[in-house]
Amino acid sequence: MEKLQKTLEEWKAMLDPEQYNVCRLSATERPFSGKYNDTKTDGVYHCVCCNEPLFDSKTKFDSGCGWPSFYAPIGESAMTEIRDTSHGMIRTEVKCARCDAHLGHVFPDGPPPTGLRYCINSVCLNLEPRE
């Protein structure tokens, strides 16, 4: 996969303010506020910054955390994981492997078959419904 690189100024011109703050500055949208938190639409979730496929809706589940949750990415190479020690916590941040957009975090408290919960900001995603 070829890396997509842009300056912060280029990202700022391309994204709306909330997308920019979350995807490029690692902010977080308010819980239960995202457009995909409750959606059940069948399809594929793509990175809002580079359109890379990230999650299949078949892996989405209701975790009650306030953000869309998935138990697996669409492929092993879809994202990168980074140790995050901000805010006095130890977590694992997930970023889009193609453009390094901050997506959210992954936790080891999800359902089978992976036992993982990818807690993802809706603002980072575009859902392309299946026909």
Please give the positions annotated as active site: 119
The answer to whether the annotation marks 124 as part of a ligand binding site is: no
The answer to whether the annotation marks 99 as part of a ligand binding site is: yes
d(CA 10, CA 2) in angstroms, rounded, equals 18
d(CA 75, CA 102) in angstroms, rounded, equals 17
Which helix (H) or strand (E) covers residue 19, if one does? helix 17-19
Contact call for residues 78 and 34 (beta carbons, < 8 A)? no
The answer to whether the annotation marks 50 as part of a ligand binding site is: yes
The answer to whether the annotation marks 96 as part of a ligand binding site is: yes
Q: Which of 130, 77, 80 is nearest to 102 (CA)?
A: 80
d(CA 59, CA 114) in angstroms, rounded, equals 10
Annotated binding site for Zn(2+): 47, 50, 96, 99
